[in-house]
Structure formats: C-alpha cells, structure tokens
Amino acid sequence: MKPLNKIISCCLVAAAILGTSCQSSTVKQADNQRWVGTWGTAVQLTEPHNCPPEPGISGNTIRQKIRVSIGGETVRLKLSNEFGNDVLKIAAVSLAPALEGSKIDAAKAVNVLFGGKQAIDIEKGQSVISDALPFTLTPRMDVAVTIAYTFVPSDITGHPGSRTTSYILTGNELNNTDFADAVTTDHWYTIERLDVVADEPTAAIAIVGNSITDGRGSTTNQVNRWTDVFSERLLANPATSKLAVLNMGIGGNCIIRGGLGPNASVRFNRDVIEQPGVKYVIVFEGVNDIGYSPNPSATEKELIDAYSKMIDTAHAHGLKIFGATVTPFKECFYGSPEKEECRLAVNNWIRTCGKFDAVIDFEKAICSDSDTTVMNPNLHDNDNLHPNANGHKALGEFVDLGLFE
C-alpha cells in the first residue's frame, strides 16, 4: 500500500514545551504553498539486529537528530509505518534545534500536531504528514526530533544507516531536557522526511544509492557522507544555494532484486518522484547487483533496462536525471573477472548511451591513479569497496555544480 501523502490538517497550534506556558500560533496552509524536502531518508523494514535496544521504543521516548540542507520558516514532518505489521501509536512529537549530544535548545522546542492533535495512530503500511509548523530552519542546521510512543509494532519502519546517535528514555519523556542517561543506538526509526515552504527556484536533488550514498565509511555523528559534502558545496555556491539534497541511499540495496530494503526500481517513485520540490535525480547504484550476481552477463542487460526505465520515468515527470558510474571493486570480496567485465560494460553504457542528462564519473574520482579497476588505497575503508571519510570527501567534491546551475 502506498504511503499517504496528504496533509491531515491545514492549521496547527504550536506549543512551547518543557515547562513553559503554551503559546498558540496558526499557520494557514494556502493552496499555493510550495513544499520542498530539506531532509529525507529511505525507509525500510528494520532488520532484527538493527531494532532498538532495550528498553525498546514501544511505550518509551526517542530523540533523533537530523541535519537539514536548506532553511525555511515553516515546516512539516513525515512519519512512516510503511513496513509495520500493526498500528503505530504515537503520543506526542516535538522539534527543537539540536545541540551537542542529546541536548536541545529547549526555548525553541515546539510540539508537532496532526490534525490539531498531539497523538496520532498510523495504520500499518501507511505514513502521515504533520500540520504545517512555524519553525525556523537555517541551512545545514541540526534538528532534534523527539517522539513519545504509546505502542510500536514488532516490525519497525526505520533507517538503520543513520550514522547518527539516537537516545532512548523509558516512558513518556517528551518534555525532559536531560537525556544524558539515555540508552543510545545509531539508527533512525519512524522519521522519513522534513519539508519546508519555499519559493522558486528552490528545489531538491534526490539521490538514489546503496551503502556508499548511505554513508558507509563516513564518521558517525560527523555528517560527512559524500552527499553532505556535496550539499555544503551547493549551499556555498550562489548559483546553487537554493538546492536541497535528499539522501535516498540504503546500505546493501540493489536496483533489480535482492539486497536490503526495497530495491531501487520498486522505490523509485516513493524516493524520487513523490518527493516534494524534486527537480534533479542522481542514480549511483548497481555495485551490489553486480557483486551478488550469479550471471553477470545477464545482470548487465537487466541493469541497463532498469536505468532506462528510471530515465524515462524521471523525464516523464520533467526531472533531469544524472547517472553515476559504478565505482571499482575488483580487490574486494565481490571481485571476479566476469563481474569486472560487467561493471566496465555498465559504466561504458552510462557514459555513452546519451539517455542520462549528464554523467557523474565517480569511478574517476575514487580509483587508483595507476589502475582504474581498483580503489585508491588512501580513499577506501580497508575493504576495497566503500570509501573512507577522505573518499566521501573526494566524491562530494567531484560533482560538477555547473550541472545544477
């Protein structure tokens, strides 16, 4: 079942929390308001080993941190129970500027409402979008999303590869400013997207990818994935400063079949087409399809067909779509002559097919100076497959900003 993508109410009362007196503020949701995603993540069924540690989050409270890309004055939050096997019951949600660790700027914390109410039940297979909320975002600002749950199903919708620490307290502790004694976990749960009201030419870039885009090899809590480096460059460049970056990477993901999470062909509409304000798409995926493949020659054709369908879909919706080449893996556990032949053929097609609006040749950004079939030893995470923090920096700095001006 597709997630619900409608706003449940057209107004909201925003209350300051944490022991202060309530203040009311109404945001009218005009028909001509234009929403753009400023942060997002590709949700999936959370694997058992990535589920919340004890005491869990059912009946408890979690504080999760995200870093937005563009700023704004009015926001809305999307929460998901897409992969849940039961109703997800939420008692209350708040947003606040995030400070060091689990700390927040409590004076600026506000309640998130759904149809004017704090509590929300999200049916299994569904998602919800909150009421419009007056909340000042600045570019690359850290935001704390605190959720007090009443009940969480055993199948939890989340994003394991947050590379960001979350904090769990027992009971409803929404108004607690002190999470110092919280149980910690480096995963996100339930949260899917934060949008801002923005005028033209503000827009979003949706990036479909696997573990490299998800941030494998980057530094936990440093927010230094290649997509973050790219976002910071966009914001610093006057001609691209109104572009948001939505990281739709899933670790272990495939384009065609298998892997972790819904494959990219299945989730392309959800993670790209349905994103508010999206204008550009980057597809940087395929290495797991080749690496897992028992028949690389067949996989070559299947990948090309899948890329072509993504291109056609993006163009049908007026989006520009850029293809990124598959990075080297010959010396990792995936490596074999047949798979390397497939990778080279797929990359040749990406570079020469003429269907993508442009090509981002990430192979060149991260390969060895002497051998394009292996990763630069200074840029990989000791596995000849994933970039390290320097590798993420190299990828993020390689993207030509002129493509988006």
Neighbours of 331 (CB within 10 A): 17
Neighbours of 197 (CB within 10 A): 18
Q: For 335-363, what is the mean pLDDT?
A: 97
pLDDT in tens, 159-202: 999 999 999 999 999 999 889 999 999 999 999 999 999 999 99
- DSSP designation for 272: I
Question: Domain for residue 22, yes or no?
Answer: no
Question: Domain for residue 18, yes or no?
Answer: no
Neighbours of 304 (CB within 10 A): 17
Question: Domain for residue 174, yes or no?
Answer: yes
Compute and round to an integer the Cα radius of gyration of the chain: 21
pLDDT at position 13 is 30
Residues 242 and 157 in one domain: no
The residue with greater pLDDT, 403 or 16, is: 403
What contacts 140, CB < 8 A, 6 or more positions away?
67, 68, 69, 231, 232, 235
Question: Domain for residue 207, yes or no?
Answer: yes
Parent domain of 229? 200-404
pLDDT at residue 252 greater than cutoff 60: yes
Residues 226 and 141 in one domain: no
Highest mean pLDDT among 14-18, 21-25, 351-355: 351-355
Residue with tokens 């869990």: 56
SS3 92: strand
pLDDT at position 33 is 87
pLDDT at position 11 is 32
Q: Which of 194, 214, 246 is the last residue of a domain?
A: 194
**DSSP per position, 215-242:** TTTS-TTT--SHHHHHHHHHHHSGGGTT
Question: Domain for residue 17, yes or no?
Answer: no
Residues 162 and 293 in one domain: no
Pairing of strands 126-129, 44-45: unpaired
Residues 186 and 205 in one domain: no
Residues 56 and 128 in one domain: yes
Structural domains in the chain (count): 2
Find out whether the peptide bond into 53 is cis, omega within 30 degrees of 0: no
pLDDT at position 59 is 98
Rounded CA gap, 256 and 260, in Å?
11
Residues 161 and 273 in one domain: no
pLDDT at position 17 is 32
Residues 89 and 216 in one domain: no
Q: Which of 151, 172, 194 is the last residue of a domain?
A: 194
Rounded CA gap, 294 and 157, in Å?
30
- Pick from 227, 325, 236: nearest CA to 280: 227
pLDDT at position 25 is 42
Rounded CA gap, 170 and 173, in Å?
7
Rounded CA gap, 155 and 46, in Å?
7
Q: For 213-223, what is the mean pLDDT?
A: 98
Alpha helices by DSSP H, listed for 121-223, are 211-214
The pTM of this model reads 0.92
Q: For 205-226, what is the mean pLDDT?
A: 98
Q: Which of 160, 176, 194 is the last residue of a domain?
A: 194
Residues 170 and 311 in one domain: no
Question: Domain for residue 369, yes or no?
Answer: yes
pLDDT in tens, 68-114: 999 999 999 999 999 999 999 999 999 999 999 999 999 999 999 99
Question: Domain for residue 9, yes or no?
Answer: no
Residues 53 and 76 in one domain: yes
**DSSP per position, 280-346:** EEEEE--HHHHHH-S-HHHHHHHHHHHHHHHHHHHHHTT-EEEEEPPPP-TTSTT--HHHHHHHHHH
pLDDT in tens, 272-317: 999 999 999 999 999 999 999 999 999 999 999 999 999 999 999 9
**DSSP per position, 309-322:** HHHHHHHHTT-EEE
Residues 324 and 360 sit within 8 Å (Cβ to Cβ): yes
Q: For 132-136, what is the mean pLDDT?
A: 98
pLDDT at position 15 is 33
pLDDT at position 80 is 98
pLDDT at position 31 is 53
Percent of the chain with pLDDT over 90: 91
Neighbours of 36 (CB within 10 A): 25
